[in-house]
């Protein structure tokens, strides 16, 4: 992989990880359409850690408050502080994805080799986004994060676990679940981004462990492309987070639903043609 390809994939990862159109799906579709080699596990890890950096850049104050509150909750054995509850909700919401990733690792990896399946999962994302807006209208989604409960955290966490399938957007599924639970659209997005942090970090560690065994030879000759992809993913990720948080204050998810529908149908059609 050359540096230009790495930067393009970094831009794709940074934008689509947070804009609810499935980064994993795009990282399968884009190289497939352009005839590029499948990115190595190490390269994929660096892209995801680039988006992890983006989350820290945007939400570093939130993380400091959450960490302090979490340790205080342990010392005082109290969840009176909303930040302490939110920190515990992030931990609880991460568990379903961890369990699903460990149980279905081989199956999930096989899906990344199947563009047709990715197109189908993009259609599911389109349905989730459109359906969540209908649920939000009925439930009048106005709750804030201070009024989240354990059921909210579990439901959103389960939604995140389905996003292990390429084509099902992690941000889209978790925002949709938050809307379905009556949480305000922009705050559901904020929780989605915070919830993604341990998932990105933990998955990255596992991928690095695998890559050092399987792809270690690829590391020496691909430092520059991996660094370029990492930086591109981080920079574009920051822009994407800020854009989406502003966008969702007054706008709906329907435009992203239509996009996923079109991309999903085109991918399925092209997979048959090819």
Q: Which residue has the tokens 């909303």?
A: 82
Which pLDDT does position 216 carry in this prediction?
Answer: 56
Which pLDDT does position 201 carry in this prediction?
Answer: 85
Q: Measuring CA to CA, which residue among 195, 199, 102 is closest to residue 156? A: 195
Q: Measuring CA to CA, which residue among 244, 254, 20 is closest to residue 136? A: 254
Which pLDDT does position 248 carry in this prediction?
Answer: 92
Contact 264, 120 (CB under 8 A): yes
Which pLDDT does position 38 carry in this prediction?
Answer: 84
Q: Which residue has the tokens 């390809």?
A: 5
Residues forming a β-bridge with 143: 183
Q: Phi and psi dihedrals of 183, rounded to 5?
A: -85, 140
Cβ neighbours for 152, distance < 8 A, ≥ 6 positions apart: 89, 178, 181, 183
Which pLDDT does position 188 carry in this prediction?
Answer: 93
270: helix, strand or coil: helix
CA dihedral (262, 131, 161, 94) positive or negative: positive
CA distances from residue 105 to 99, 134, 159, 221 in whole angstroms, order as listed: 10, 33, 17, 28
What b-and-e string marks burial along 85-98, b requiring 16 or more CB atoms within 10 Å of the CB? bbbbbbebbbbbbb
Which pLDDT does position 218 carry in this prediction?
Answer: 54
Query: What is the C-alpha separation between 168 and 170, in angstroms, rounded?
Result: 6
Task: Going residue by residue through the chain, which has 274 residues, state the pLDDT in tens, using 9 for 90 and above.
Answer: 789 999 999 999 999 999 999 999 999 999 999 999 888 777 888 898 999 999 999 999 999 999 999 999 999 999 999 999 999 999 999 999 999 988 998 898 899 889 999 999 999 999 999 998 888 777 676 889 999 999 999 999 999 999 999 999 999 999 999 999 999 989 999 999 999 999 888 877 877 776 666 555 555 567 889 999 999 999 999 999 999 999 998 899 999 999 999 999 999 999 998 7
Show me where the domains of the chain are located.
3-273
Which pLDDT does position 211 carry in this prediction?
Answer: 64
Q: How far apart are the first and last CA of the chain?
A: 23
């Amino acid at each position: 992989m050359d540096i230009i390809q790495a930067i393009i994939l970094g831009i794709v990862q940074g934008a689509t990880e947070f804009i609810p159109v499935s980064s994993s799906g795009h990282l399968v579709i884009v190289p497939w359409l352009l005839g590029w080699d499948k990115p190595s596990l190490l390269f994929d890890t660096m892209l995801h850690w680039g988006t992890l950096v983006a989350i820290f850049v945007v939400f570093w104050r939130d993380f400091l408050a959450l960490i302090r509150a979490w340790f205080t909750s342990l010392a005082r054995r109290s969840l009176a502080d909303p930040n302490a509850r939110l920190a515990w909700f992030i931990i609880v919401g991460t568990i379903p994805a961890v369990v699903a990733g460990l149980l279905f690792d081989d199956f999930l990896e096989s899906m990344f080799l199947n563009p047709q399946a990715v197109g189908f999962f993009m259609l599911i994302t389109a349905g989730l986004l459109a359906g969540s807006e209908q649920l939000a209208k009925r439930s009048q989604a106005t709750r804030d994060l201070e009024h989240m409960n354990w059921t909210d955290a579990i439901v959103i966490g389960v939604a995140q676990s389905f996003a292990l399938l390429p084509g099902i957007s992690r941000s889209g599924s978790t925002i949709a679940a938050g809307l379905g639970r009556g949480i305000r659209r922009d705050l559901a997005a904020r929780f989605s981004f915070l919830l993604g942090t341990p998932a990105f970090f933990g998955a990255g560690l596992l991928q690095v462990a695998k890559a050092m065994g399987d792809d270690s030879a690829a590391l020496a000759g691909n430092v520059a492309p991996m660094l370029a992809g990492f930086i591109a993913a981080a920079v574009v990720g920051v822009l994407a987070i800020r854009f989406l948080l502003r966008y969702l204050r007054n706008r709906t998810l329907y435009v992203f639903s239509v996009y996923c529908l079109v991309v999903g149908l085109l991918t399925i059609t092209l997979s048959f043609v090819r």
